[in-house]
Amino acid sequence: MARDENGVLVPFDFRSILHHLPALKNLALELSVISFDKPIDSSNIDPSHWQVLADFIANNYDQYDGFVVLHGTDTMAYTASALSFMLDGLSKPVVFTGAQLPISEPRSDARENLITALEVASARKDGKALVPEVCIYFNYELLRGNRSKKVESMQFDAFDSDNYPPLAKAGVKIDYNYAAIRPNDGDPLRLRRNVDCNLSILKLFPGIQESTVRAILETKGLKAVIIETYGSGNAPTSSWLISLLENAIRQGILIVNVSQCPGGRVTQGRYETSRELQRIGVIGGADMTAEAAITKLMVLLGCYDIAKVKSLIPVSLAGELTP
């Protein structure tokens, strides 16, 4: 965003990017700038926009060393997670970044975020990209996209990755954590373009009603449910809850267990309160974020049959979970 002549925030005109960021001239990069015809607030993002982004990257993959995506912060973790599953076999950086303050503001974080994101996207060693994966650069840290969550709305450190270390930290120089970066095995890029949104989230809380759970599980066309449980995957042992979940699973609905905690992992069966979930066939989501679980299921359901989706949920496809 930038302010117009009346001081009102409006979508940024990228034709004037060098005016706002003259430092870009010093990067010695050849840049191409593409924007949506009608920019939208990131709260209005939906999977069709993920497809546009994935299509553009796939169609122009051989022309560029890397890609930087400027995106609103509210749904950035969802989009970054989705693209990590859609762009299978990625060997080039796709770096998401944005800002907490508009680029026209004196204290805006947009300048540093964009300049460093461009440096990361163009960084190469021995002819190969240093960071061949989808990631988020924000507030001096480079995070794996499908491990990230937005955790702050008023400070510059908007994103965190509790279950995975930063891929790089930017100070006087960019210090890459090579051990944390996923290597590319030399596979060609494969685009998983289709998505299926017939899924839902069921967040548990003390006092949740049977009618609420039933309404979600009996949604017409439902194929999968992410159940957000307590701690390491625990849930109430109420007979009605277990019965509803078990019946849904028997009808072919996939139920994936992720924790409400930002850190740690689901370990079904560790406590009595998760043993029943394991018995009835709820799939443990390990240490996936809810954003990663949702987008992974959307992409897998759009591309494969239920049996294959079920087999791939516990598998790390893009570094989204720790085996």
- Average pLDDT value for residue range 137-146: 97
- Average pLDDT value for residue range 152-167: 92
Contact between residue 65 and residue 92 where contact means Cβ atoms under 8 Å apart: yes
Mean of the per-residue pLDDT values of the chain: 92
Which fold does the domain 199-312 belong to in CATH? Rossmann fold (3.40.50)
Contact between residue 111 and residue 21 where contact means Cβ atoms under 8 Å apart: yes
Check residue 14 and give its pLDDT: 67
Q: Which two tokens stand for residue 272?
A: 């009595």
In which residue are the tokens 């087999």 written? 311
Per-domain residue ranges of the chain: 2-191, 199-312
d(CA 53, CA 31): 17
Tens-place pLDDT, residues 263-302: 999 999 888 889 999 999 999 999 999 999 999 999 999 9
Q: In terms of DSSP H, where are the helices of the chain?
A: 17-20, 47-59, 76-86, 110-122, 210-217, 239-250, 272-280, 290-303, 306-312
d(CA 130, CA 120): 8
Domains 2-191 and 199-312 share a fold: yes
- Average pLDDT value for residue range 166-189: 93
Q: What is the DSSP letter of 244?
A: H
- Region at 231 (left for phi over 0; alpha for psi -120 to 50; beta for the rest): left
- Angle in degrees, CA 302, 226, 238, rounded to 5: 145
Q: How confident is the model at residue 16 (pLDDT cuts 50, 70, 90)?
A: low
Q: How confident is the model at residue 116 (pLDDT cuts 50, 70, 90)?
A: very high
Q: Is the pLDDT of residue 186 over 80?
A: no
Tens-place pLDDT, residues 19-44: 777 778 788 888 888 888 777 888 99
d(CA 64, CA 75): 25
Model pTM? 0.93
Q: Is the pLDDT of residue 104 over 90?
A: no
Q: What is the DSSP letter of 63?
A: G
Q: Is the pLDDT of residue 1 over 70?
A: no
Check residue 40 and give its pLDDT: 83
- Average pLDDT value for residue range 53-74: 96
The CATH-assigned architecture of domain 2-191 is: 3-Layer(aba) Sandwich (3.40)
